Homo-oligomer: A and B are copies of this chain.
Amino acid sequence: MQRFEDLAQQFATHFNNRHFPEQPATLYDAGEYFLGIGGKRIRPVLCLMGNELFAEIVPDAFQVATAIELFHNFTLIHDDIMDNAPLRRNQPTVHEKYGSSTALLAGDVMLVVAYDYLLKIKPEYIRKITNLFSRTAREVCEGQQLDMDFEKREQVGMDEYIHMIELKTSVLVAASLRMGGLLGGAGERNLHHLYEFGRNLGIAFQVQDDYLDCYGDPAKFGKQVGGDIVANKKTFLLIKALESADKERLASLKALLAGNAADKVQQVLGIFHDLKVDQWAFNLKEHYLNEAYRHLDEIAVVAVRKEPLQKLAQFLVQREY
């Protein structure tokens, strides 16, 4: 059983090569550039870990992991266009560097190449793996659309928001694990629990991400505290606050959102504190993390095989950066 770091190293050896032809360079340099600026490669390694939970890692797992990472990068390139984001991983985004038309096409062709890797695996696995991959891809697109829709709406229900996060973030984490498990020969019951482990872990991760934006140590977190508040971004905390505020605090909160007060972050955090939204978010994260662990427990393999996934979950969700 290998640790995340070791598998990430193995994946990097496999992945850090060209994925596109040389020509036309005006198209393919853009994709290679983006893949070259890094990323933690969590999803592809989850695929390898899902495989190793049940059996020695098969070569096909690296093909599928590659497809997953290319798909993830495709979504990032297109999301950055939609969000008009200038930076990703502290580097210029593809559309900033190559123009939005090339970024659009570089994303398109990256998705096509992702499917190419899926087609390389053993024929008997292609349909099952690719069907899950495609379903997940559709869900991620739906999640991105809902995210954009919600940003335009004044009120978003907690259930709707959780559903959006599931689609936009969790299903790819869950599917990466499940694809690995499939290649490792796991049965349906184990695959179900593995998927649910990933789905809940993904939500816990996003709750924490929203939490850390408000309460993270800026030195460790690497971002300005309250960035989401400044941008009026819908987060678990804001939605909960809007749902649970009394009339007076609701009015204050809405006034703060509508304006650009110098102490906006401090004031919103004050309301969050009054409403105990911070404690609620912490508990919510614990709830989803516990759900994730509950499903991991249900997987019928010896406990020692689960250790790397347990440690990774802890690392991902207890992180303070």
Q: How far is the CA of A15 from the CA of B115 in the complex (A)?
A: 24
Q: Is the CB of A115 within 8 A of B113?
A: no
A134 surroundings in chain B (CB, below 8 A)? 112-113, 115-116, 119
Known: A26-B149, A145-B27. A123 touches B127 (CB 8 A): yes
A140 to chain B, nearest CB (A): 9
Q: Which of A108-128 contact B (CB under 8 A)?
A: 108-109, 111-113, 115-116, 119, 123, 126-127
User: Could you say which of B108, B109, B130, B141 contacts A105, with CB atoms under 8 Å apart?
Assistant: B141
Residues of B within 8 Å of A119, CB to CB, are 126-127, 130-131, 134
- Number of chain copies forming the complex: 2
Evaluate contact between A104 and B81: CB separation under 8 angstroms: yes
Chain A 285-303: CB-based contact to B (< 8 A → 1; otherwise 0): 0000000000000000000
List A residues 9-33 near B (Cβ within 8 Å). 24, 26-27
Task: From the candidates B82, B116, B126, B145, name the one contacting A26 in the complex (CB within 8 A).
Answer: B145
CB distance from A145 to the nearest CB of B (A): 4
- Given A81-B104, A145-B27, A145-B102: A109 in contact with B126 (beta carbons within 8 A): no
Contact of A149 among B24, B112, B116, B145 (CB under 8 A): B24
Asked whether A104 lies within 8 Å of B82 as measured between CB atoms, the reply is yes
For window 195-249 of chain A, which residues contact chain B by CB distance below 8 Å? none
Residues from chain B with a CB closer than 8 A to the CB of A144 are: 105
The answer to whether A148 and B102 touch across the interface, beta carbons within 8 angstroms, is yes
CB proximity of A84 to chain B, nearest CB, Å: 10
Is A112 in contact with B127, judged by CB distance below 8 angstroms?
no
Provide the main secondary structure of the chain A interface: helix
Distance between A182 CB and nearest chain B CB, rounded to angstroms: 15
Bound-state CA distance A144–B145 (Å) is 26
Q: CB distance A105 to B78 under 8 Å?
A: yes
> Is A56 in the interface zone, CB < 8 Å from B?
no
> 0/1 per residue, A56-89, Cβ < 8 Å to B?
0000000000000000000000100110000000
Name 16 A/B residue pairs within 8 A (Cβ), A-sorted.
A24-B145, A24-B146, A26-B145, A26-B149, A78-B104, A78-B108, A81-B101, A81-B104, A82-B104, A107-B108, A109-B138, A109-B142, A113-B138, A116-B131, A123-B123, A123-B127
Given contacts A24-B142, A81-B101, A105-B141, 8 further A-B contacts (CB under 8 A): A82-B101, A101-B148, A108-B111, A108-B141, A109-B137, A111-B112, A119-B126, A119-B134
Q: Nearest 4 pairs between A and B by C-beta? A: A27-B145, A82-B101, A109-B141, A112-B137
